[in-house]
Amino acid sequence: MKSAIILHGMPSKDEYFDPKSPAQSNKHWLPWIQRHLILRGILAQTPEMPDAYAPNYEKWRTLFEQFAIDEETMLIGHSCGAGFLVRWLSENKTKVGKVALVAPWLNLDHEYDIDFFDFEIDESLAERTDGVTIFVSSDDYQTIIDSVAKIRSTVKSAGVKKFTDQGHFTFNDMKTVEFPELLDTLIR
């Protein structure tokens, strides 16, 4: 059965604990893409990653690996969630479906003192997928632009969808929850 796992990014601690703010798994374009995949018969899950404001790789990995992940599974990640997928795919030899990395973040400038990104990117990770596509906007944070450059220089077969006005691919930047370019990449 075709499935998809959609991972959110890292919010601030204030945003995470704000009871008026939706859970990270229900923000931005994540519910929209989940719904559109479900309507196409793809079981799509958007798990709420533990302590997202202070990501811990082992905690995220433990939750992530509770899902069945195989060659029928699409993996979609936003920001820190995309960075998690790069690490997980680098450290695991599981064959998966399409992979979409939206504004992937790898903490290259060590802005945060976390070991979440203490790993080497496997240059052959794309060979175990049905294709890796990176979504990046030229008006995103420099840390994202640098992370994309690092991934592209290592995973040479990764495709890139470039935008100029989507910022960090959040609702505030995109002014919409719809993300048809992502849907098109996943279903074609």
* pLDDT score for 53: 94
Predicted pLDDT at 110? 79
Question: Can you give the pLDDT at residue 35?
Answer: 98
Q: Are 116 and 85 in contact (CB under 8 A)?
A: no
Residue reference for tokens 């992370």: 147
- Which pLDDT belongs to residue 92? 95
Alpha carbon distance 17, 1 (integer Å) = 35
According to the model, what pLDDT value does residue 14 have? 95
pTM: 0.96
Q: Which residues of the chain have pLDDT under 70?
A: none
pLDDT at 109: 83
Q: Could you confirm whether domain 3-187 is CATH 3.40.50.1820? A: yes
| Whole-number average pLDDT of the chain | 96
Q: Quickly count: other Cβ atoms within 10 Å of residue 177's Cβ.
A: 14
pLDDT at residue 43 in the model:
97
Phi-psi region of 186 (alpha: psi -120 to 50; beta: other; left: phi over 0): alpha
